[in-house]
């Protein structure tokens, strides 16, 4: 698990504008992409992981674009 904050930006995601967006944690929590990155700190990431493991949240589907 990461020890530094994670920035998730739809603009940088290789799954942008695919069906993956429908089940993305960012879309689930914040609605449609706004162009702003979401910053998730270590404690939030742990909480997200636990909620996902309990079946209460979708997984983080972010995959940074190559390049």
Residue-wise pLDDT tens digits, 7-47: 777 788 888 888 887 777 777 676 666 667 777 788 888 88
**List of long-range contacts for 10-16, beta carbons under 8 Å, 24+ apart:** 10/35, 11/35, 12/37, 12/64, 12/65, 13/62, 13/63, 13/64, 13/65, 14/63, 14/64, 14/65, 14/66, 15/61, 15/62, 15/63, 16/65
Q: How far apart are the first and last CA of the chain?
A: 24
pTM for this one?
0.53
C-beta of residue 56 within 8 angstroms of C-beta of residue 25: no
Q: Where residue 51 falls among pLDDT bands split at 50, 70, 90?
A: confident
């Amino acid at each position: 698990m990461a020890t530094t904050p994670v920035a998730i930006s739809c603009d940088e995601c290789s799954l942008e504008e695919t069906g993956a967006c429908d089940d993305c944690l960012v879309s689930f929590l914040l609605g449609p992409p706004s162009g702003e990155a979401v910053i998730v700190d270590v404690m939030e990431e742990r909480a997200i992981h636990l909620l996902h493991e309990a079946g209460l949240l979708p997984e983080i589907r972010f995959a940074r674009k190559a390049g």
